[in-house]
Chain A
């Protein structure tokens, strides 16, 4: 039976991973994008390039270095051992960290663009009206860049759902712990269980299309409103 081969675990792990990663990305990405949009330091360009690296690097390269760093002898692995007894490699936590790095540009770039788009003039006006910088961020910048946040959230989430290489390198393939959808499909194909692979693949295809469709529709609607 096909249904025996289909398990819900990979779906749940994938959604959980994408959700947590997106939340973490928004928390880290917002100040980073804000800083990049406003800084005049000469380090801006190298930092922008570093943020964009996952766009061009093969995920296996990223995954390989993360694996080295996450290992108990690696830099991140040692640091992690102070906080936790379990190793970072082949764990869900390791997956989250890897996904955050992997999807960083998809969150930071739209946010940075929308922050830059708001520009200085409105913020200057707010400042002369007595608003401090943090106040300006929450009262002017945040409400005016909700489109950027929408795009960043959608792309960050969708991109994490679709990752494969990084997860394979650092997460292994532990059913119920680190086995996400894309890897589960790979497994099924390897063992020639095409019908199960079909169901997962079609589901992912449909999901991705719907997410992007909603994103583009909403983006256009919001565009007209502003």
Chain B
């Protein structure tokens, strides 16, 4: 079992970074935190473009930094791909030259990806002759992502790659980011302060605040427990499973989460595909009886586990579906009316939309 240990300490006078964590080898690790919490500084330290006072970084059995033994690899020797918020394409090179820049500099047998493969996967063939100033924001980031991957990195860092984009461009780019993790077995650290991106992309979450990693774990757990991830209106929970049945006629797919089928309406999903279902707590309603005359597809028998303290006249009721938490945001009035208390058997109903992983 290999462990990827990262620990950086840096005092800039008015800010102290002291971040230590174990990086998961597989999947996307989202580094989440408010602006000014040290996310970018940490990423720059890992990439070797910003010096730290204390630096320890082992990834994939390679030592990148170990200040006690005076080991500090220069960033060009790290094989760490970095996608910046501002894309940083080279303005004097066209897209093709930009893509080749890192690829040409891959040494020996470190190459694991080809230019043709990447240009096709990122749909860049029609853009190869263009210069960066002729690209839209979304296209720029797509090229930047492809360029970073073509350098055949052993670790990929993404620093808020979507934050400068409008909604449509974000939606266009997200699948490409999700696919990286599916197609390549390199660890990915994705920095963001956008909750929606966390919920959509994260396999693991690191929560950073004031330069310190205050919480880490898998997304489904942290969604429930970490206050920074659970601001009430946005409070949500995640169901994960695989598509078991698809009814193309009625446009309904069945996703098996554990042994609990969840029905999803909308464009049919591919069978057997792993799927993440995001449910907002505000979209969940609770009732005491199983209503057979409801338009709601998913009516699940759950047990009340915990009820939060009221905030703005609302309470979060945490129920358990087997061992999967299901959250509902209810008014105090409703909680009282249904006489909800821990241990009570009730039914949760909600509409679900799936996000393809």
Residue from B74, B91, B92, B102 within 8 A of A129 (CB atoms)? B102
Closest to B77 in A: A130
Whether a CB of chain B sits under 8 angstroms from the CB of A144 is yes
Contact of A130 with B79 at beta-carbon distance under 8 Å, contacts A122-B88, A122-B90, A226-B91 already known: yes
Tell me the minimal C-beta distance from B149 to chain A in angstroms. Answer: 11
Closest to A143 in B: B92
Whether a CB of chain B sits under 8 angstroms from the CB of A212 is no
Whether a CB of chain B sits under 8 angstroms from the CB of A76 is no
Whether a CB of chain A sits under 8 angstroms from the CB of B78 is yes
A128–B73 Cα distance when bound, in Å, is 11
Contact of A128 with B78 at beta-carbon distance under 8 Å, contacts A121-B88, A143-B92, A226-B91 already known: yes
B49 touches A124 (CB 8 A): yes
B92 touches A144 (CB 8 A): yes
Whether a CB of chain A sits under 8 angstroms from the CB of B232 is no
CB neighbours of A140 from chain B (8 A): 90
The B interface, classified by DSSP as helix, strand, loop or mixed, is loop
Tell me the minimal C-beta distance from A218 to chain B in angstroms. Answer: 17
Number of residues from A at the complex interface, CB < 8 A: 18
CB neighbours of A144 from chain B (8 A): 91-92
B101 touches A128 (CB 8 A): no
Whether a CB of chain A sits under 8 angstroms from the CB of B151 is yes
A129 touches B105 (CB 8 A): yes
Tell me the minimal C-beta distance from B95 to chain A in angstroms. Answer: 14
Tell me the minimal C-beta distance from A197 to chain B in angstroms. Answer: 47
A129–B144 Cα distance when bound, in Å, is 11
A131 touches B90 (CB 8 A): no
Number of A-B contacts (CB under 8 A): 60
Whether a CB of chain A sits under 8 angstroms from the CB of B80 is yes
Whether a CB of chain B sits under 8 angstroms from the CB of A214 is no
A129–B102 Cα distance when bound, in Å, is 5
Whether a CB of chain B sits under 8 angstroms from the CB of A38 is no
A127 touches B74 (CB 8 A): yes
Tell me the minimal C-beta distance from A150 to chain B in angstroms. Answer: 15
Given A129-B102, A135-B105, 20 further pairs, Cβ under 8 A:
A121-B84, A124-B88, A125-B90, A127-B48, A127-B49, A127-B76, A128-B75, A128-B78, A129-B105, A129-B147, A130-B105, A130-B151, A131-B105, A132-B74, A133-B76, A135-B76, A139-B101, A140-B90, A143-B92, A226-B91
6 contacts between A and B (CB under 8 A): A125-B90, A130-B105, A130-B107, A130-B151, A131-B101, A139-B101
| A-B pairs, 10 with minimum CB distance | A129-B102, A130-B105, A125-B88, A128-B82, A127-B75, A124-B49, A127-B76, A129-B151, A143-B92, A132-B76
Interface residue ranges, A against B (CB under 8 Å): 121-122, 124-133, 135, 139-140, 143-144, 226
